[in-house]
């Protein structure tokens, strides 16, 4: 953001007056407008990548077990049925493309930890999710429903999940149920997603 701002030339006028600024004959004087600022793909990609590193904190629940963890997500495919143009997105997904109504395929690495008498572990998850706008074209409230397949140290299995999101989808609460995932049957996530 700052780099793009500083890339913009700031032409401070020294008190231009009507007379000095006036173009008497438009056919002779052809002022050139300032070109739009350009962007560095590396900078833009880097900023987007940093945003993806923000994890979603997890609360891991089972009948005799409470733990924690973190989850990340990448979104290789989104079909948005809520936007006016460019319904298919990959990886870089505007909040409105997702939360005005969309179907997405996602991949999520999860790291679970912090439960007494239990070790840490990784869960790899891939799934699909549908987002439906509830209030304000999804900017104020969105509901999601999805399913996924996971792989963990004890094997693989299926999960179902649902979620609610506010503030342009930046904050959400999702609940993932995995009946066959021992000691991690219910995982609640505070999702923090920014693109």
Residue choice 44, 54, 114, 182 for contact with other proteins (CB under 8 A): 44
| Choice between 26 and 119, CB closer to other proteins | 26
| Residues 128 and 107: beta-carbon distance below 8 Å | no
| Choice between 97 and 152, CB closer to other proteins | 97
139 part of the interface to other proteins, by CB under 8 A? yes
| Choice between 1 and 119, CB closer to other proteins | 1
DSSP per-residue letters across 17-76: -HHHH--S-TTT--PPPPPPPP--HHHHHHHHHHHHTPPEEEEEEETTEEEEEEE--EEE
8 part of the interface to other proteins, by CB under 8 A? yes
90 part of the interface to other proteins, by CB under 8 A? no
Backbone angles phi, psi at 126, to 5 degrees: -130, 140
x-or-dash string of contact with other proteins, 97-116, rule CB under 8 A = x--x----------------
Q: Nearest to residue 151, comparing CAs of 127, 132, 174?
A: 127
12 part of the interface to other proteins, by CB under 8 A? yes
42 part of the interface to other proteins, by CB under 8 A? no
| Residues 193 and 167: beta-carbon distance below 8 Å | no
CB-side neighbour CA atoms (13 Å) of 161: 30
What are the residues whose beta carbons fall under 8 Å from the beta carbon of 153, sequence distance 6 or more? 121, 122
Maximum Cα interatomic distance, the chain, rounded to a whole number of Å: 84
CB of 145 to other proteins, least distance (A): 20
23 part of the interface to other proteins, by CB under 8 A? yes
Binding residues for other proteins, rule: CB under 8 A, are 1, 3-6, 8, 10-13, 15-18, 21-23, 26, 29-34, 36-39, 41, 43-44, 47-48, 51, 81-86, 92, 94-97, 100, 136-137, 139-140, 166-168, 171, 194-195
């Amino acid at each position: 953001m700052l780099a793009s701002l500083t890339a913009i030339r700031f032409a401070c006028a020294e008190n231009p007056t009507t007379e000095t600024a006036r173009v008497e004959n438009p056919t002779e004087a052809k002022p050139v407008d300032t070109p739009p600022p350009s962007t560095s793909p590396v900078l833009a990609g880097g900023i987007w990548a940093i945003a993806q590193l923000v994890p979603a904190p997890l609360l891991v629940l089972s009948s005799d077990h409470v733990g924690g963890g973190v989850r990340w997500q990448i979104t290789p495919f989104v079909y948005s049925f809520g936007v006016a143009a460019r319904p298919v997105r990959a990886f870089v997904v505007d909040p409105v493309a997702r939360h005005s109504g969309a179907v997405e395929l996602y991949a999520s690495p999860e790291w679970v930890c912090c439960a007494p008498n239990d070790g840490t572990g990784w869960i790899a998850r891939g799934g699909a999710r549908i987002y439906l706008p509830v209030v304000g074209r999804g900017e104020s409230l969105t509901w999601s429903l999805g399913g996924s397949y996971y792989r963990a140290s004890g094997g693989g299995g299926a999960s179902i999940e649902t979620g609610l999101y506010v503030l342009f989808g930046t904050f959400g609460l999702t609940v993932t149920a995995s009946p066959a995932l021992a000691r991690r049957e219910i995982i609640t996530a505070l999702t923090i997603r920014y693109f």
